[in-house]
Amino acid sequence: MGHAAGDAVLAAFGARLTAWAGPQAAVGRLGGDEFATVLSLPAERRARRLEQLARMLHTPVTLDDGRTINVAASIGAATPDVLAPAT
């Protein structure tokens, strides 16, 4: 669909991640189509919030010319909740 469409999808994903993460988070594009978000999510809310993110990232993107692009994303999460014992 061309570079303009790809740029629009990347911009939409960046905006969606920023909105989802909130003002206390760090959101950035690592390169290509990879993004990272660093934020604090309480353990009891983590699963629900990640499900919300998946829904947001799977919502089609509408281009300026009105075309709609179906998109998908894979999500990975890491947490420091479980620390290895000190040796």
Tens place of pLDDT for every residue, the chain, 87 residues?
778 888 899 999 999 999 999 999 999 999 888 999 999 888 888 889 999 999 999 999 999 889 999 999 999 888 876 666 666
Res 37: pLDDT: 92
- CA distances (Å), origin 45, targets 4, 23, 40, 48, 58: 36, 17, 10, 6, 20
Let me know if residue 53 belongs to a domain: yes
Let me know if residue 62 belongs to a domain: yes
> Contact at 8 Å (CB) between 32 and 43?
no
Res 4: pLDDT: 84
Res 86: pLDDT: 63
> How many separate helices (H) and strands (E) can be counted in the chain?
2, 4
For the whole model, what pTM was predicted? 0.81
Let me know if residue 74 belongs to a domain: no
> Contact at 8 Å (CB) between 26 and 38?
yes
Let me know if residue 47 belongs to a domain: yes
Phi, psi of 22 (to 5 degrees): 90, 175
Let me know if residue 22 belongs to a domain: yes
Number of domains in the chain: 1
What residues make up the domain containing 53? 3-69
Let me know if residue 80 belongs to a domain: no
